[in-house]
Amino acid sequence: MSKLIGTLKQMMNDVELYVDLLHIFPGSMRVGVELTDTGETATLLIGEESGVEEGLVDPVFKITMTAEILEKIMKREVDAFALAGRSHIKETRPIDFEFIDNSRVNEAMEAIKGLATFFFNPGRIKRRELRLGLAGEAHGARPIPLVYWKGVRYAWYHVPAGKTLNEEGEKDPWPQAFVVLGGKGKILIEHEEFELQAQTVYYIPRNCTHQVHADEIVELLWLAWDAE
């Protein structure tokens, strides 16, 4: 049995309490896993059936990473969701994915979120550490995704001093909120700018500009809902 198969079987055992969250659609789905440096491959079966098979067996999509990244995930030295998260779908990240069955892309995207949140998160009880060393990079800041689930998106953000979250000024068609935990700076919502206040929630309407400029390090929780 390859090391990849053994690791994935351990993860499948560890995710027993959360297995219903890996695939929210009826039936089951096959997910390929490939280690790009060793060439090892395997297939996860998630949904109404679950298991691990050798090789790539008719996967709907494929997840790729190196053996080193997988080992670091198991040691909690990196956060899988942070390594997979990106500002735009076309970005390449240390954990990447490739859609194979284009008729099931929406279903596959929900499975990717479930796997990143629960499966590639070691331990029987799932948890995440919120520290800069585990954060990814997106929108000019350092996020750790927490929950992406049925239209809900929730993440922790570290905005370094002198940086601006969402500097590109992207607007989104869903409502959002920034829960500011600490730091100093300014927040812009639509055309109104405010001095940032800790322990405050700022609600962002649909299709509105939303930026946080950090004069000092800012940490916040970002929440979006009705997000498809």
What is the architecture, at CATH level 2, of domain 135-224? Sandwich (2.60)
pLDDT value for 55 = 96
**3-119 and 135-224 have identical folds:** no
pLDDT band at residue 102 under the 50/70/90 scheme = very high
Give the residue extent of every domain in the chain.
3-119, 135-224
pLDDT band at residue 93 under the 50/70/90 scheme = confident
Average pLDDT over residues 85-103: 82
What is the per-residue pLDDT across 52-71, written as a single tens digit (0 to 9) for each?
A: 999 999 999 999 999 999 99
CATH superfamily of domain region 3-119:
SCP2 sterol-binding domain (3.30.1050.10)
pLDDT value for 57 = 95
Assign 3-class secondary structure to the chain: CCHHHHHHHHHHHHCHHHHHHCCCCCCEEEEEEEECCCCCEEEEEEECCCEEEECCCCCCEEEEECHHHHHHHHCCCCCHHHHHCCCCCCCCCCCEEEECCHHHHHHHHHHHHHHHHHHCCCCCCCCCCCCHHHCCCECCEEEEEEEEECCEEEEEEEECCCCEECCCCCCCCCCEEEEEEECCEEEEECCEEEECCCCEEEEECCCCCEEEEECCCEEEEEEECCCC
Reply yes or no on whether the pLDDT at 36 is more than 70.
yes
pLDDT band at residue 197 under the 50/70/90 scheme = very high
Please give the mean pLDDT across all residues of the chain.
94
Reply yes or no on whether the pLDDT at 90 is more than 90.
no
Quote the pTM value: 0.90
pLDDT value for 89 = 59
pLDDT value for 165 = 97
Reply yes or no on whether the pLDDT at 129 is more than 90.
yes
pLDDT value for 86 = 66
